[in-house]
């Protein structure tokens, strides 16, 4: 429970800085800091049990049918990362308080930061792979917000977009990989997955799953060849870089590798891919780090390099390598976060991050210099600092591996080369900034506020103490972490001194070589200048634009805007699926006795068919064709009545007329006749498709109607009164059994209507001044007799609709039909009396009517929570009042009221606004 | 159920229904057979409305005698008798506006006699 | 007797509907079609009432009421379209 609370707290707490965003900066920072502190305390509360070897777990089922659970665990690995995330997060919050300028929106910053913190915590504590993935994507999103925090800068936006695109794409690959793993293991719960490790490794889908997971991890951890997004993410505010790109987000990929190492690791594929990618990334990052002139750029590439180092260790996969990897994760987070903060301090106090412009700051910022020297030395791997220890272990592992047979000696050599470069850029970071000769700077440099240095101070102190006394400081943490990665009997032993051996020689070589490389760096710069290295940003932009263009072309070919084409595609697909099934049944006619043909049915059928053909034949004269359609609609509703479905018939009737009204409205703006444009072949094709589809659908209907057919309707019939308190099953289904569906539908209806309303807004349509034969329109706008009678009709219609609405629960009717009837009556007023007349008497905006409707329906649903029932559970009872007698009240009627209002609002929003479109623009030349 | 009413009541109902059916059919025949739009307008708007009126009257009596008085039919009747003239009025207005061809005997009082068309539509 | 009479009426109205359909197709003007449509609506309404008596139920009367109302609105809309083009102004 505390565990879940710890993860949830940053998410809930993200609101806190926003709530106080109008207060002083101090309050906002306190609010954010308090959240981190409380989470940290919770972690501290849980720590002893983890160190004692327990694994606190939390499980709440969410969608058990899909294997989805909200499940958290806090094993050693999680603890290590959670401590990093929360601890460094807290330091970052302190640091950011001083770093952000007065113009920055601190509330938004801290909210995003906390959101990110929660997502990271979620990743490292998730006990369910899908949940892990969910938090993984959340980090992508929240880091997007953080990188793009200064969204007025185009490079911030671009960097954020790139990071999102790359990590998001990687996330999709990861999801695919996770699904494969879950499928093989039969569960997404980590324990089950761990238990099925052997089966997974032996499975034929192991390699695809591994590759997909690796793509996810490598994109997140900026491994080669996906490293390019990280330098561009440096457009973020420095606290963000310090947090995301040193300690946390880029470590998520590493975490994933470590988390899944027991499942996926140890195979040939694993160590080949992971080791080589790690090695390549390490060298690549180190080389470019040395070349960068931007302080943060240097740090970004060095981060890539160090991540490569850790990845390589995980790839090697031996006991010692895993320990070294975990240890280096810890060390890298401490010194790199410190270095980023120092870069931020320098930027903040001097106004520049360019190594060519900076220099000689040792006099102005002595304290900062010392901190920079300590952290850089840790990064370079100088003895007595934490970086030295993990690097030494790394050298040992690199030297001891025999992965590539006779060529294995390549690896220690390359590793030493990487370490030399690492030393060189560390020297550059310190020397070029604090020594060298001073330059003219945008600001007079001076020491930053004390509290801005304190977080760095803490981190530097950690570098030293861990470097001197590793066993005391971290072995307690590392033991359970190693246990959860490497297996049961993990033993942590970190020694300061191993004696004179090869790894030590490698360290010495690295230091000496690094100094030499640094001294000769101009040569290297000149050497590098001859390569035309294209900016990753441009390459990325090129790829994006090429993909976009390809998709555009594809879209133009598929989405032609031709309705015929879409319909043809859809219908052909229907035919493909349905025809085989129809051919499977032995006879079309089923066993049910057939009804006799009577005169009404016969003439109805004749009219139906004739009108349907008529609609096609007259399709070039639009109004005629519309009239034909309305005959079809009328006949269909008579058919519904014939087959005892009065609800359906009423709905069909109203919908029919309302849609005809809509089409007549639209007709005004369209040519009245369509020129003959289709070629013969096309017509033949369309006739063929339409004929086939009609025949097939007819056959299905006939086959169904002539067979004894048991459906779920029996259930509804039996439960309508006891379960929903209404005798009209159709209505009870709509407002009760499937009320959630209806809620969704009316929401969609309201949204669609709002969309149409918005589209119609400010549209200036062409308005013909006369009809198709060139006759001018009649002068009288609103014939008086029509006016008079329609006003008389309105109360009648309203009464009818009220009646239909109220009795809906028990007899044919309901909110939907009633709403349409009311809307139709209102439309009649618009037609007979004009927009202005209606506005004078009923000035209400339909958008809010629809919104209120949806709101009422939703609140009715929510209301059932108050009584401890599920969403939208309806409640009803029978009251016995004197005089009135016994009657039923049900909450469903409230829900139906919501439906009623939404339908009125949406229909009128569309129709009335469509009509008003002309009124607004028509010059008022004639009265009546 | 249908045949349990007293004879005279059944007779009345039957009378109204037959009357209504005949009216309606005659109206429809008129709609089909009459020569021009203005004359055709008369048939359904008068006869068919009357026909429905007859049926409604029959139904009113029938349900009044069996299950009890039903307000629906009355409402339908009120509705129909209110709106039918208006539809006819609007259609006639539109017909004049569109200057449809008229037969000799149909006079458009806005025009002089020599302008009358002698074509049959 | 009532049964026979109802059957007779069904027959008459069915024929009437078919005649309306003929006019509906023949035109010649749009107005003729609108008029025929209106008549079809009214005749259907009558059929519904007869059906209600036949099955001895009042379930169909709301539908009949709606036909009366909506038929009127439809006719008004079509006529107004011919007169003014723009039905809501």
Chain C residues within 8 A of A813 when measuring between CB atoms: 62
From chain B residues 21-40, the ones with a CB under 8 A of any chain C CB are 21-22, 24-25, 27-29, 31-32, 37, 40
The lowest-confidence range among A25-34, A864-873, C12-21 is: A864-873
The Cβ-side half-sphere exposure at C37, using a 13 Å CA radius, reads 33
Specify the pLDDT at position A927.
Answer: 40
Distances (CA, A) of A921 to A159, A469, A842, A914: 46, 83, 21, 12
d(CA B88, CA A644): 33
Best mutation target among B78, B87, B95, B97 (most A Cβ atoms within 10 Å) is B97
Specify the pLDDT at position A881.
Answer: 65
Mean pLDDT of B14-41: 91
Question: Residue A62, Cβ neighbours under 10 Å: how many?
Answer: 14
- Closest residue by Cα to residue A341 from A656, A94, A646, A22: A94
Chain B residues within 8 A of C80 when measuring between CB atoms: 90
Q: Give C66→chain A minimum CA distance, Å.
A: 7
Q: Which of C42, C80, C82 sits opposite B98 (nearest CB)?
A: C82
pLDDT-based confidence at A922, cuts 50/70/90?
A: low
Q: Report the sign of the C-alpha dihedral through residues A642, A646, A650, A655, in that order.
A: negative
Task: Count contacts between A and B (CB, < 8 Å).
Answer: 28
Buried b (16+ CB within 10 A) or exposed e, A185-202: bebbbbeebeebbeebbe
Q: Give B73→chain C minimum CA distance, Å.
A: 7
Q: Do B11 and C1 touch (CB under 8 A)?
A: yes
d(CA A899, CA A738): 13
Specify the pLDDT at position B120.
Answer: 45
d(CA A184, CA A187): 8
Mean pLDDT of A787-808: 87
Q: Do residues A10 and A35 lie in contact, with contact meaning Cβ atoms separated by under 8 Å?
A: yes
Q: Report the sign of the C-alpha dihedral through residues A334, A336, A339, A345, in that order.
A: negative
Specify the pLDDT at position A643.
Answer: 81
Q: Do B95 and C31 touch (CB under 8 A)?
A: yes
pLDDT of A833 > 50? The answer is yes
Q: Which residue in chain B is spatially nearest to C76 when comparing CA positions?
A: B87
pLDDT-based confidence at B111, cuts 50/70/90?
A: low
Specify whether the backbone of A414 is left (phi greater than 0), alpha (psi in -120 to 50) or beta.
alpha
Tell me which DSSP letter residue A875 carries. Answer: -
pLDDT of A670 > 90? The answer is no
- Closest residue by Cα to residue A32 from A105, A103, A90: A90
Element (H, E) at A603: helix A599-617
DSSP A91-153: HHHHHHHHHS-TTS-HHHHHHHHHHHHHHHHHHHHBSBHHHHHHHHHHHHHHHHHHHTSSTTS
> pLDDT, tens digit, for every residue of A336-365?
989 989 988 888 888 888 888 887 888 888
Mean pLDDT of A314-320: 86
Q: What angle do CA A500, A502, A508 make, to 5 degrees?
A: 80
Query: C74 in contact with B at a CB cutoff of 8 Å?
Result: no
Q: Do A646 and C62 touch (CB under 8 A)?
A: yes
Q: Which residue in chain C is spatially nearest to B90 when comparing CA positions?
A: C79
Q: Do residues C45 and B79 lie in contact, with contact meaning Cβ atoms separated by under 8 Å?
A: no
Measure the N-to-C terminal CA separation of chain C; round to a whole number of Å.
53
Would you state the structure tokens that stand for residue A525, as one six-digit string? 């710069």
Would you state the structure tokens that stand for residue A852, as one six-digit string? 């209120």
pLDDT-based confidence at B109, cuts 50/70/90?
A: low
Query: C60 in contact with A at a CB cutoff of 8 Å?
Result: yes
pLDDT of A320 > 60? The answer is yes
- Closest residue by Cα to residue A908 from A864, A857, A849: A849
Average pLDDT, chain A: 85
Q: Which of C22, C38, C50 sits opposite B55 (nearest CB)?
A: C50
The Cβ-side half-sphere exposure at A308, using a 13 Å CA radius, reads 28
Specify the pLDDT at position A886.
Answer: 61
Buried b (16+ CB within 10 A) or exposed e, B69-98: ebebbebbbebbebbbebbbbbbbbbbbbb
pLDDT-based confidence at A926, cuts 50/70/90?
A: very low
Mean pLDDT of B16-35: 92
Q: Give A786→chain B minimum CA distance, Å.
A: 6
What is the percentage of chain A residues whose pLDDT exceeds 90?
A: 20
Q: Which of B18, B73, B93 sits opposite C5 (nearest CB)?
A: B18
Buried b (16+ CB within 10 A) or exposed e, A399-423: bebeeeeeeeeebbebbbbbbbbbb
Q: Do A630 and C37 touch (CB under 8 A)?
A: yes
d(CA A243, CA A115): 13
Q: Which of B44, B52, B66 sits opposite C35 (nearest CB)?
A: B44
d(CA C31, CA B90): 10
Q: What angle do CA B15, B16, B18 make, to 5 degrees?
A: 65
Specify the pLDDT at position A882.
Answer: 65
Q: Give C3→chain A minimum CA distance, Å.
A: 14
Q: Give C25→chain B minimum CA distance, Å.
A: 11
Q: Give A919→chain C minimum CA distance, Å.
A: 5
Q: Do A610 and C83 touch (CB under 8 A)?
A: no
A571-576 contacts at long range (C-beta below 8 A, 24 or more positions apart): A571/A689, A571/A690, A571/A692, A571/A693, A572/A689, A574/A693, A574/A696, A575/A689, A575/A692, A575/A693, A575/A696
Q: Do A793 and B75 touch (CB under 8 A)?
A: no
Q: Give C33→chain A minimum CA distance, Å.
A: 8
Chain A residues within 8 A of B83 when measuring between CB atoms: 789, 793
Q: What angle do CA A584, A585, A588 make, to 5 degrees?
A: 135
d(CA C27, CA A152): 66
DSSP A444-486: ---PPPHHHHHHHHHHHHHHHHHHH-HHHHHHHHHHHHHHHHH
Q: Do residues A874 and A735 lie in contact, with contact meaning Cβ atoms separated by under 8 Å?
A: yes
Chain C residues within 8 A of B117 when measuring between CB atoms: none
The domains found in chain C, sorted by start residue, are 2-84 (1.10.287)
Give the residue ranges of DSSP H helices in A265-318.
Answer: 268-291, 295-316
Who has greater pLDDT, A98 or A866? Answer: A98
Mean pLDDT of A817-830: 91
Q: Do residues A257 and A174 lie in contact, with contact meaning Cβ atoms separated by under 8 Å?
A: no
ipTM of the complex as predicted: 0.96
pLDDT of B116 > 70? The answer is no
Distances (CA, A) of B18 to A402, A762, A851, A896, C15: 107, 57, 51, 42, 14
pLDDT of A26 > 90? The answer is no
> pLDDT, tens digit, for every residue of A474-511?
777 888 888 888 776 667 777 777 777 888 888 888 88
d(CA A249, CA A924): 64
Q: Do A649 and C63 touch (CB under 8 A)?
A: yes
Angle between helix axes A815-833 and A784-807 (nearest 10 degrees) is 170
Q: Do A627 and C78 touch (CB under 8 A)?
A: yes
> pLDDT, tens digit, for every residue of C22-35?
999 987 888 999 99
pLDDT of A234 > 60? The answer is yes
Q: Do residues A368 and A453 lie in contact, with contact meaning Cβ atoms separated by under 8 Å?
A: yes
Element (H, E) at A886: strand A885-890
pLDDT of A718 > 50? The answer is yes
pLDDT of A233 > 60? The answer is yes
Q: Give C28→chain A minimum CA distance, Å.
A: 11
What is the percentage of chain A residues whose pLDDT exceeds 70?
A: 95
Which chains lie within 8 Å of chain A at 3 or more CB pairs, if any? B, C
Q: Which of A670-674, A875-879, A907-911 tops mean pLDDT? A: A907-911
Task: Count contacts between A and C (CB, < 8 Å).
Answer: 160
Query: B90 in contact with A at a CB cutoff of 8 Å?
Result: yes
From chain C residues 50-69, the ones with a CB under 8 A of any chain B CB are 50, 52-54, 56, 58, 61-62, 64-65, 68-69
Give the residue ranges of DSSP H helices in A351-469.
Answer: 366-380, 386-400, 410-434, 450-468
Q: Give C2→chain A minimum CA distance, Å.
A: 17
Query: C35 in contact with A at a CB cutoff of 8 Å?
Result: no
Q: Which residue in chain A is spatially nearest to B94 when comparing CA positions?
A: A778
Q: Give C1→chain A minimum CA distance, Å.
A: 19
pLDDT of B119 > 60? The answer is no
Q: Do C61 and B72 touch (CB under 8 A)?
A: yes
Q: Which of B90, B98, B99 sits opposite A783 (nearest CB)?
A: B90
Q: Which residue in chain A is spatially nearest to C65 when comparing CA positions?
A: A800
DSSP C38-89: HHHHHHHHHHHHHHHHHHT-STTHHHHHHHHHHHHHHHHHHHHHHHHS-S--
Q: Do C65 and B75 touch (CB under 8 A)?
A: yes
d(CA A264, CA A258): 10
Give the residue ranges of DSSP H helices in chain B.
Answer: 7-33, 37-42, 49-65, 71-97
Specify the pLDDT at position A885.
Answer: 59
Q: Which residue in chain A is spatially nearest to B79 when comparing CA positions?
A: A793
Q: Do residues A865 and A907 lie in contact, with contact meaning Cβ atoms separated by under 8 Å?
A: no
Distances (CA, A) of B36 to A141, A624, B41: 73, 19, 9
Q: Do residues C77 and A664 lie in contact, with contact meaning Cβ atoms separated by under 8 Å?
A: yes
Chain B residues within 8 A of A790 when measuring between CB atoms: 86
Chain C residues within 8 A of A916 when measuring between CB atoms: 88
Element (H, E) at A13: helix A2-13
CA torsion A14→A16→A22→A27, rounded to 10°? -110
């Amino acid at each position: 429970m505390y565990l879940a609370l710890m993860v949830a707290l940053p998410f809930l707490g993200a609101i806190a800085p926003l709530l106080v965003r109008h207060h002083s900066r101090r309050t906002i920072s306190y609010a954010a800091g308090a959240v981190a502190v409380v989470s940290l305390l919770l972690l501290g509360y849980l720590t002893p049990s983890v160190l004692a070897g327990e694994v606190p777990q939390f499980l709440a089922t969410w969608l058990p049918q899909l294997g989805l659970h909200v499940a958290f665990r806090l094993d050693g690995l999680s603890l290590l990362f959670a401590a990093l995330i929360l601890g460094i997060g807290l330091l970052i919050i302190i640091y950011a308080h001083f770093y952000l300028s007065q113009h920055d929106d601190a509330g938004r910053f801290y909210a995003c930061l906390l959101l990110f913190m929660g997502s990271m915590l979620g990743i490292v504590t998730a006990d369910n792979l899908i949940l892990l993935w969910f938090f993984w994507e959340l980090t992508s999103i929240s880091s997007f917000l953080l990188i793009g925090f200064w969204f007025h800068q185009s490079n911030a936006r671009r960097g954020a977009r790139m990071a999102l695109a790359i990590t998001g794409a990687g996330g999709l690959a990861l999801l695919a990989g996770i699904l494969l793993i879950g499928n093989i293991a039969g569960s997404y719960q980590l324990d089950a997955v761990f238990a099925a490790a052997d089966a997974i490794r032996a499975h034929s889908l192991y390699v695809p799953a591994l590759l997909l997971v690796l793509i996810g991890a490598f994109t997140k951890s900026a491994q080669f060849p996906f490293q390019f997004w990280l330098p561009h993410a440096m457009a973020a505010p420095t606290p963000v870089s310090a947090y995301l790109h040193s300690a946390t987000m880029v470590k998520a990929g590493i975490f994933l590798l470590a988390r899944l190492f027991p499942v996926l690791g140890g195979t040939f594929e694993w160590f080949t891919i992971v080791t080589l990618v790690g090695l390549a990334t390490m060298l690549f990052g180190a080389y470019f780090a040395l070349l960068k002139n931007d302080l943060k750029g240097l740090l970004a590439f060095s981060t890539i390099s160090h991540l490569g180092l850790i990845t390589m260790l995980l790839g090697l996969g031996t006991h010692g390598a895993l320990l070294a990897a975990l240890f280096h994760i810890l060390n890298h987070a401490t010194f790199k976060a410190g270095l980023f903060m120092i870069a931020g301090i320098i930027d903040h106090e001097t106004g520049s991050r360019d190594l060519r412009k900076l220099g000689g700051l040792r006099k102005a910022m002595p304290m900062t210099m010392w901190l920079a020297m300590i952290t850089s030395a840790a990064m370079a791997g100088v003895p007595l600092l934490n970086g030295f220890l993990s690097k030494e272990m790394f050298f040992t592992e690199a030297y001891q591996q025999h992965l590539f047979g006779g060529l294995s000696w390549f690896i220690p050599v390359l590793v030493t080369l990487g370490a030399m470069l690492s030393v060189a850029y560390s020297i550059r970071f310190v020397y070029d900034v604090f020594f060298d000769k001073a330059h003219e700077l945008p600001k007079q440099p001076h020491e930053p506020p004390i509290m801005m240095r304190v977080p760095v101070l803490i981190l530097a102190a950690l570098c030293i103490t861990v470097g001197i006394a590793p066993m005391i400081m971290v072995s307690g943490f590392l033991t359970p972490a190693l246990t959860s990665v490497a297996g049961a009997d993990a033993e942590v032993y970190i020694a300061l001194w191993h004696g004179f051996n090869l790894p030590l020689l490698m360290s010495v070589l690295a230091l000496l070589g690094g100094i030499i490389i640094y001294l000769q760096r101009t040569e290297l710069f000149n050497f590098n200048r001859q390569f035309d290295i294209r900016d990753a940003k441009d390459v990325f932009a090129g790829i994006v634009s090429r993909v976009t263009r390809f998709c555009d072309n594809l879209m133009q070919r598929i989405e032609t805007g031709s309705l015929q084409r879409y319909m043809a595609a859809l219908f052909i697909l229907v035919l493909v699926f349905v025809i085989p099934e129809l051919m499977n049944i032995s006879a079309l006619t089923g066993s049910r006795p057939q009804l006799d043909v009577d005169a009404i049915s016969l003439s109805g059928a004749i009219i139906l068919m004739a009108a349907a053909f008529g609609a096609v034949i007259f399709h070039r004269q639009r109004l005629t064709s519309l009239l034909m359609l309305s005959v079809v609609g009328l006949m269909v509703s008579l058919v519904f009545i014939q087959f005892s479905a009065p609800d359906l018939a009423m709905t069909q009737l109203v919908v029919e007329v309302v849609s005809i009204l809509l089409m007549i409205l639209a007709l005004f703006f369209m040519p009245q006749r369509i020129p003959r444009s289709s070629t013969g072949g096309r017509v033949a094709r369309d006739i063929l498709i339409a004929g086939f589809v009609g025949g097939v659908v007819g056959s299905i209907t006939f086959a169904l109607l002539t067979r004894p057919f048991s459906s779920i309707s029996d259930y509804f019939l039996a439960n309508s009164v006891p379960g929903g308190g209404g005798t009209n099953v159709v209505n009870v289904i709509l407002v009760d059994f499937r009320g959630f569906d209806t809620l969704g539908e009316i929401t969609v209806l309201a949204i669609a209507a709002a969309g149409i309303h918005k589209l119609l807004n400010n549209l200036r349509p062409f308005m013909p001044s006369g009809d198709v034969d060139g006759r001018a329109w009649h002068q009288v706008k609103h014939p008086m007799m029509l006016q008079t009678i329609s006003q008389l009709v309105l109360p009648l219609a309203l009464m009818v609709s009220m009646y239909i609405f109220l009795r809906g629960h028990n007899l044919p009717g309901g909110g939907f039909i009633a709403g349409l009837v009311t809307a139709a009556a209102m439309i009649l007023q618009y037609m007979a009396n004009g927009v202005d007349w209606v506005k004078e008497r009923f000035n209400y905006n339909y958008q809010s009517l629809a919104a209120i409707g949806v709101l009422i329906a939703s609140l009715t649903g929510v209301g059932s929570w108050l009584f401890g029932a599920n969403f939208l559970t309806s409640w009803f009872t029978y009251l016995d009042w004197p005089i009135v007698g016994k009657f039923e009240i049900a909450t469903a009627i409230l829900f139906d009221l919501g439906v009623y209002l939404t339908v009125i609002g949406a229909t009128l929003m569309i129709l009335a606004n469509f009509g008003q479109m002309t009124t607004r623009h028509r010059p008022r030349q004639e009265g009546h | 159920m249908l045949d349990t009413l007293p004879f005279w009541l059944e007779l009345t109902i039957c009378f109204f229904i037959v009357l209504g059916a005949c009216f309606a059919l005659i109206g429809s025949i008129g709609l089909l057979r009459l020569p021009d739009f203005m004359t055709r307008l008369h048939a359904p708007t008068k006869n068919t409305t009357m026909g429905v009126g007859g049926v409604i009257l029959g139904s009113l009596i029938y349900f009044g005698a069996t299950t009890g008085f039903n307000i629906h039919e009355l409402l339908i009747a009120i509705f129909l008798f209110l709106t039918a003239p208006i539809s006819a009025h609007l259609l006639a207005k539109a017909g004049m506006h569109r200057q449809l061809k008229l037969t000799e005997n149909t006079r458009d009082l806005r025009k002089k006699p020599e302008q009358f068309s002698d074509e049959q539509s | 007797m009532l049964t026979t009479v109802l059957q007779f009426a069904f027959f008459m109205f069915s024929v009437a509907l078919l005649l309306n359909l003929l006019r509906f197709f023949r035109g010649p003007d749009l107005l003729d079609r609108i008029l025929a449509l209106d008549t079809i609506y009214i005749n259907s309404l009558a059929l519904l009432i007869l059906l209600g008596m036949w099955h001895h139920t009042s379930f169909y009367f709301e539908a009949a009421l709606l036909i009366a109302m909506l038929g009127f609105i439809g006719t008004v809309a079509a006529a107004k379209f011919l007169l003014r083009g723009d039905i809501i102004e």
